[in-house]
Amino acid sequence: MPEDGMDSEHRFAFLVHPRGFNDIYLTFPFTRFLPKWLVRKVFLLIGPMVVGKVYGLKTSDGKTAKGEIITVPMTARDMLENRELAAREVEGCIRLAEKRGARMVGLGSLTSVVVGGGVDVVGKFKTKITNGNALTVFMAYQGIRAVCEKKGIDMKTAQFAIVGASGSTGSGISKMLIRDGGARSELIMIGRTPSHLESLSNEMQEFFPDAKVKITNDMTETIHADVVIVATSAEGAILKAENLKKNAVVYDVTQPQNVTRSIMDGRPDLLVVDGAITKLPEGVGYTVNMGLVKGESFSCMAETMLLGLEKYPEDFCIGRVTMEKIDTISILAESYGFKPAPLRSWGKII
Ligand SMILES: NC(=O)c1ccc[n+]([C@@H]2O[C@H](COP(=O)([O-])OP(=O)(O)OC[C@H]3O[C@@H](n4cnc5c(N)ncnc54)[C@H](OP(=O)(O)O)[C@@H]3O)[C@@H](O)[C@H]2O)c1
């Protein structure tokens, strides 16, 4: 029986982390008055914490799916600077979730990145794991389609560049652009680590032998693209305005965001889109302020909700996203009424 005495076969947990100190101040306003070193220290001493819950989720047979939000006690920057410690904290969060009865745990944002997209934790616990990236890819693809339609960009002939293409989300979006978007122009796939780029190249050749794909670690290659998709796990701004074509669309999936508002300074021609956000069904929400509009959620969290509703019995999306998982989650999303959120740029409807 879980710690709070409530049993539910549909229990799940979603792991988060503060993107920076502002997120900590939103949840714990008093910490604003303390020095940062002290906040860091106290948070690490406390360890994983339940900071909120998901409400309003009902299965088709009227049962309630209960979801808790558990935070790693480290900011994005601290997690990337000390990945080993961050991975241990993620394991601590999964243990806590399991103790509280979760049958599925979703790894939000960098909690997935520091454990290899789930590869390093899968099989270590009874609870099942997902990195949430299958729905993230699906919703991102729908968002890219919608913004292309709005801007009169023909997806078949447009030039796309994906930064962070060798990652779980980036590689999935690339595959969707080829399979469903019918991309005929060369797809520019930009990554960082040569061995990851090589394995990406092999994977793309195996699945899409006829697709025109360029794999590179040259960040300036974005200059050729009408649409630049950003999907890296870097902590700060990595995209530069001087490497963007006139009237380019930037579709930013990252959390914390890799694109800062200053990119628009002197470049009013650019359009930056908040990527991969899901509109939840009426009445569904969560109690943590993640900086999104009410009724909308990051897609990795929405994926975890869907798997909780379904009582999904196995690990779901682990490591790189497969087309099979994208298709499965898109069917679930449709059946439960999870939809792409309206297009926004830094929170404002486009
Ligand atoms: N909006 C949403 O709902 C949602 C959902 C899920 C994830 N996300 C966000 O999506 C992003 C990607 O997540 P993921 O799970 O796909 O991560 P991932 O699998 O770890 O992939 C990250 C990619 O970024 C590259 N990268 C990391 N730092 C870089 C840098 N400084 N410069 C250039 N490339 C760099 C990595 O290259 P290497 O090959 O060198 O590792 C890798 O290709 C994260 O920001 C995550 O928070 C958002």
Q: Does the CB atom of residue 205 touch ligand 1 within 6 A?
A: no
Ligand 1 atom 33: residue of nearest CA: 192
Distance CA 136, CA 188 (A): 20
The residue to which tokens 């650019």 are assigned:
270
Distance CA 73, CA 208 (A): 41
Percent of the chain clearing pLDDT 70 (strictly above): 98
Residue 196 Cβ inside 6 Å of ligand 1? The answer reads yes
Q: What is the DSSP letter of 175?
A: H
- Does domain 136-276 fall into CATH 3.40.50.410? no
DSSP category for residue 316 = -
Using a 6 Å cutoff on CB, does residue 238 contact ligand 1? yes
Segments making up each domain of the chain, as ranges: 12-134+278-344, 136-276
Mutate to test the pocket of ligand 1, among 19, 80, 169 (most ligand atoms within 8 A of CB): 169
Is the beta carbon of 170 within 6 A of some atom in ligand 1? yes
Alpha helices in 210-298 (DSSP H): none
Among 44, 12, 70, 5, residue whose Cα is nearest residue 288: 70
Q: Any idea of the CA torsion for 295, 78, 94, 333, to the nearest 10 degrees?
A: 30
**pLDDT in 10s for each residue of the chain, 350 residues:** 555 545 567 899 999 999 999 999 988 899 999 999 999 999 999 999 999 999 999 988 888 999 999 999 999 999 999 999 999 999 999 999 999 999 999 999 999 999 999 999 999 999 999 999 999 999 999 999 999 999 999 999 999 999 999 999 999 999 999 998 887 888 999 999 989 998 988 888 888 888 899 999 999 999 999 999 999 998 888 899 999 999 999 999 999 888 999 999 999 999 999 999 999 999 999 999 898 999 999 999 999 999 999 999 999 999 999 999 999 999 999 999 999 999 999 999 99
Q: How many helices (H) and strands (E) does the chain have?
A: 10, 17
Q: Which atom of ligand 1 is nearest to the CA of 232?
A: 24
Residue 263: how many CB atoms within 10 A of its CB? 17
- Each residue's pLDDT tens digit, 222-261: 999 999 999 999 888 889 999 999 999 999 999 988 899 9
Q: Is the CB of 328 under 6 A from ligand 1?
A: no
Give the pLDDT of residue 61: 85
Structure tokens given for 44: 């690490």
Cβ atoms of 108 and 54 closer than 8 Å: no
Q: What is the whole-number distance in angstroms between the Cα of residue 284 and the centre of ligand 1?
A: 28
d(CA 224, CA 220): 9
N-to-C CA span, the chain: 47
**pLDDT, tens digit (0-9, with 9 covering 90-100), for 69-81:** 999 999 999 999 9
- Is 0.85 topped by the overall pTM? yes
* DSSP-H helix ranges across 254-344: 299-310, 323-336
Q: Which of 193, 232, 343 to mutate to test the pocket of ligand 1 (most atoms within 8 A of CB)?
A: 232
Query: Atom of ligand 1 at shortest distance to CA of 170?
Result: 16
Rg (CA), the chain: 20
Residues sharing a CB contact under 8 Å with residue 181, sequence separation 6 or more, in sequence order: 141, 144, 145, 155, 156
Of the residues 192, 260, 325, which should be mutated to test ligand 1's pocket, given the most ligand atoms within 8 Å of the CB? Answer: 192
Residue 169 Cβ contacting ligand 1 at under 6 Å: yes
Is the peptide bond prior to 256 cis by the omega test (within 30 degrees of 0)?
A: yes
CA atoms within 13 A on the CB side of 316: 29
